[in-house]
Amino acid sequence: MLRLACRLGYVNSQTKLHLMQRTRSFLSFVLFSFPFFLAAQTRHTVSGTVRDKKSGETLIGASIVLLGQSRLNVLSNAYGFYSVNATPGDYKMVVSFTGYQPDTVAVSLVRDVVVPVELTAEGAQLQEVVISANRNSNNVTKPLMGVQKLSINEIKDIPVLFGEKDILKTIQLLPGVQSGGDGNSGFYVRGGSIDQNLILLDEATVYNPSHLLGFFSTFNSDALKDVTLYKGAIPAEYGGRLASVLDVKMNDGNSRDYHASGGIGLISSRLNVEGPVGGDDKGSFIVSARRTYADVFLKLSKDTNTNRSSLYFYDINAKANYKLGDNDRIYLSGYFGKDNLGLGNTFGIDYGNSTATFRWNHIFNSRLFSNTSLIYSKYNYDIKINSGNNDIGITSYIRDYHFKEDLQYYANASNKINFGIDVINHTTSPGVISATESSSYNPITVSDKHALETAAYFSHDVSVSEKLNMNYGLRAGLFTVMGPGKFYTYDSSGNAIDTASYGSGSIVKNYFNLEPRFSVSYKVTDVSSFKVAYTRTTQNLHLLSNSTSSNPTDVWIPSSNNVKPEIADQVSLGYYRNFEANKYEFSSEVYYRDMQNQIDYKNGAQLIANENVESQLIFGKGRSYGLELFFKKKVGKFNGWVSYTLSRTERQFTGVNNDSWYPANQDRTHNLSVVAIYKVNKKWTLSADFVYYSGNAVTWPSGKYEVNGQVVFLYTERNAYRMPSYNRLDVGATLQGKKTKKFDSNWNFSIYNLYGRENPYSISFQQDPGDASKTQAIQYALFRWVPSVTYNFKF
């Protein structure tokens, strides 16, 4: 292995120093050790925080290069912090970030120095986007595979349904990510199901990322800073879901000036207020809120039941941070959202997520950065049914208390180590039914389920040579199923054959899993590279969902004595190539993912308020493989991307389709997205996106018969049919208003589904109402064309 590493690295003539460094870094890789010994030779560190000059917002993922020294550029972390060390001397440090003008700072390393960096946004210059020579080629160099990063700036011009810019809709335009259907914020990544995506908002898990049955996502773009989707090589610091991680980070708020901004749309409005707390970048706050008012139109109805109906959601994001000293900063962030759907006073459901994150950044020294987080997350729903003398309520929730400690050690320009621990206490209440005396239902409480999820991880970013970079890591996870509660054992037909009672705090079952993560990139030329990655992920919380759309009443259950952890192994291989001084990016990746202990339901499973819900489940295997192509033009008046995915996702369950492999519901052969944005002049920006995908696998009847005088359908095979293919073109235009120092505004116009194609949302089968001797298939389409207008302002 040593020989291999040397051969790969030894291409050009190397200085003795380089060779030494490489050997050392390689040694550290072999020894797993935190390479403190690397500091034996005198080195000094330059560290600091990268910020936006105007707002003081920290910049995540800015690239820092010490010219003539760094082989690998260092990226600023989630809090804008960077650290680079080198032997004593005078250096030029270049700091660059997409959408900003790069800055060059002279650094004299005679001792450790702290250099805060402030970059100016290119757009703020009110001139055409300049193609800077320094545009980075991180996508080629870094051993990151299957990672997509979106800035809110990038998505703001892309036309979307109802004109509400939405990161969950936008990531569905990326390779390897499939939409859950028209207007659905649920998404599938590389054959994983919707619940196999870990969705984080400032580190807190968001269990239900959708509003209004999926037409909106829980993420208010005004409040967001950075969105990263990991679908291939998932870093060891993330765990808990099989398919992907969507890491969403909120804005910190403007630490220099008070500002308000907002938008007024056809069915929703937003308001955002931010400003400094204390002077000198000591702190800042931001509060963003929005509410839909589609239900206002219901109020216009004369029908009392209709005008008493509700259909709205609101959400609030709030965040504040404060600097305690040179080396300490605390952050408090929270999200609260609520959906309210009701039909007169007969039926109502409200549901929502709430999260809170307290964080403490501490810089131990210029090379060791620490973040400690205390996180709370809850998703709950509350149903009220009032019919005749039946008054019943159904509630359910999942709640996490989460402690997290992450440390980042910047050993030198070629070595960085991340390590930490993670402890989550999960409680789920699958269902509580409350009923009045006169109700037809009994009050029932399905017992709470308790679990403790602990993990420790480390990962090492190492630059073995100019050309060979890698990241390897390990995550060790322990999932403990806890009492109190009764735990049943079931026979094959789902009858409880044994019951064991456990007291509070006692351990029912432990599942220990090691999750190795590995990725490597080999630079063939300055602008092209090959990458390979292997990732094992496990999942111990499973969403019980029996429909193809996201449903707010789907229930999460933890692993138990009956439900084993889901395990996935993924291998991916990629070729990356940039063109014309990194103006164009091209990437292609192939992947294969194997999934164990996948969950499905028996026919006619009873999932509601069922103490024995685990007896309704069946377990099987899954596999998924595909090819993803991505071509992106990042800069210029005309920019955008083309994304294409060819994929196959299959499952195998005992008793389904004669135990053979069959296409999963989310199996979709072709998936094409084209996004184009054209900046016509200072006033107008035009945009369009086009989506084509082949139909999902569905189960349709292959015959019919009659039961009790009613036609019923004969099914011969699961998922043997295909929905018709889907295509849609959306267009948008943004008109920039007159910009003054005090006021900035724009109008955003868009049309969703411009040519009005009736894309099938669902197809159902019934007796022909006009001719009782026939049956027919009925196709439902949701949106023919949806125009929208939004007015955005900032002052």
Partner 1 sequence: MKTRKRIRAAFAVTAALGLAVLFYSCKKTVTLKLNNAAAEIVIQGEVTDAPGPYTVTINQTVGFYKDNTYPPISGAVVKISDGQGETDSLTETATPGTYATHILQGRSGNTYTLSVFAQNKQYTAVSTMPALVPLDSVTFETTSGFGQHQTNAVVNFQDPPGIKNYYQFMEYINGQLFNKEFFIFEDRLSDGRYISNTLYMDSTYLQSGQDLEVKMYCIDENVYNYFFQLNQSGGGGGFNTASPANPVSNISNGALGYFSAHTTQSISVGVPNQ
Site for partner 1 in 706-765 (CB under 8 A): 706-716, 718-721, 723, 742-743, 745, 758, 760-765
| Shortest distance in whole angstroms from residue 775 CB to partner 1 | 6
- Taking each helix axis as running N to C, give the angle between helix 2-9 and helix 16-31, from 0 to 180 degrees, rounded to the nearest 10: 140
Q: Which of residues 679-698 bind partner 1 (CB under 8 A)?
A: 696, 698
Q: Which of residues 630-669 bind partner 1 (CB under 8 A)?
A: 665
Q: Interface with partner 1 by CB under 8 A: which range of 396-404, 447-455, 535-543, 778-786?
A: 778-786
Q: Which of residues 131-170 bind partner 1 (CB under 8 A)?
A: none
Q: Interface with partner 1 by CB under 8 A: which range of 37-45, 259-267, 522-530, 613-621?
A: 259-267
Q: Which of residues 341-360 bind partner 1 (CB under 8 A)?
A: 343-344, 346
* Residues in a beta bridge with 730: 689
β pairing state of 368-387 and 347-365: antiparallel
| Shortest distance in whole angstroms from residue 782 CB to partner 1 | 5
| Shortest distance in whole angstroms from residue 91 CB to partner 1 | 47
Does 388 interact with partner 1 (rule: CB under 8 A)?
Answer: yes
Q: Interface with partner 1 by CB under 8 A: which range of 239-247, 382-390, 455-463, 569-577?
A: 382-390
| Shortest distance in whole angstroms from residue 677 CB to partner 1 | 23
Does 580 interact with partner 1 (rule: CB under 8 A)?
Answer: no
Could you give the CA distance from residue 191 to residue 168 in angstroms, rounded to a whole number? 17
Helix (H, G, I), strand (E, B) or coil at 616: helix
Asked if omega into 760 is within 30° of 0 (cis), the reply is no
Q: Which two tokens stand for residue 474?
A: 């390990």
Q: Are 451 and 480 in contact (CB under 8 A)?
A: yes
| Shortest distance in whole angstroms from residue 388 CB to partner 1 | 5
Q: Are 67 and 92 in contact (CB under 8 A)?
A: yes
Residue type, 144: L
Q: Are 472 and 549 in contact (CB under 8 A)?
A: no
Q: Which two tokens stand for residue 140?
A: 């080629």
Q: Which of residues 291-330 bind partner 1 (CB under 8 A)?
A: 297, 301, 303-306, 309
E strand or H helix that includes residue 636 = none
List the alpha helices (DSSP H) in 277-379. Answer: 296-299, 304-307
Q: Are 619 and 161 in contact (CB under 8 A)?
A: no
Q: Which two tokens stand for residue 754?
A: 């411009």
Q: Tell me the HSE value of 287 on the side-chain side, using a 13 A CA sphere.
A: 2
Helix (H, G, I), strand (E, B) or coil at 708: coil
Residue from 127, 442, 499, 658 in contact with partner 1 (CB under 8 A): 442
Does 781 interact with partner 1 (rule: CB under 8 A)?
Answer: yes
Could you give the CA distance from residue 205 to residue 541 in angstroms, rounded to a whole number? 12
Residue from 700, 731, 754, 757 in contact with partner 1 (CB under 8 A): 700
Q: How many residues sit in the footprint of partner 1 (CB under 8 A)?
A: 99
Does 115 interact with partner 1 (rule: CB under 8 A)?
Answer: no
Nearer to partner 1, 466 or 717 (CB): 717
Nearer to partner 1, 279 or 388 (CB): 388
β pairing state of 449-463 and 496-502: unpaired
Helix (H, G, I), strand (E, B) or coil at 496: strand
Return the beta strands (E) in 344-448 as ranges. Answer: 347-365, 368-387, 390-412, 415-435, 444-446
Q: Interface with partner 1 by CB under 8 A: which range of 85-93, 226-234, 260-268, 623-631?
A: 260-268
Residue from 133, 325, 705, 741 in contact with partner 1 (CB under 8 A): 705
Nearer to partner 1, 154 or 222 (CB): 222
Q: Interface with partner 1 by CB under 8 A: which range of 280-288, 348-356, 528-536, 596-604?
A: 596-604
Could you give the CA distance from residue 306 to residue 295 in angstroms, rounded to a whole number? 10
Could you give the CA distance from residue 362 to residue 323 in angstroms, rounded to a whole number? 10
Nearer to partner 1, 153 or 389 (CB): 389
CB contact set of 769 (below 8 Å; sequence gap of 6+): none
Q: Interface with partner 1 by CB under 8 A: which range of 14-22, 460-468, 481-489, 772-780?
A: 772-780
| Shortest distance in whole angstroms from residue 772 CB to partner 1 | 7
| Shortest distance in whole angstroms from residue 78 CB to partner 1 | 34
50-84 exposure pattern, b = at least 16 Cβ within 10 A, e = fewer: bbbbebbbbbbbbbbbbeebbbbbbbbbbbbbbbb
Nearer to partner 1, 105 or 763 (CB): 763
| Shortest distance in whole angstroms from residue 367 CB to partner 1 | 47
Does 618 interact with partner 1 (rule: CB under 8 A)?
Answer: no
Nearer to partner 1, 133 or 772 (CB): 772
Q: Which of residues 514-553 bind partner 1 (CB under 8 A)?
A: 546-549, 551
| Shortest distance in whole angstroms from residue 527 CB to partner 1 | 44
| Shortest distance in whole angstroms from residue 197 CB to partner 1 | 18
Could you give the C-alpha distances from 551 to 135, 211, 381, 671, 713, in angstroms and in order? Answer: 43, 10, 11, 24, 25
| Shortest distance in whole angstroms from residue 494 CB to partner 1 | 11
Q: Which two tokens stand for residue 85?
A: 């060390």
Q: Which of residues 70-89 bind partner 1 (CB under 8 A)?
A: none
Q: Which of 219, 282, 226, 281 lies closest to 251 in space, CA to CA?
A: 226
Q: Are 124 and 100 in contact (CB under 8 A)?
A: no
Residue from 127, 438, 492, 499 in contact with partner 1 (CB under 8 A): 438
171-190 footprint of partner 1 as x/- string (CB under 8 A): ----------x---------
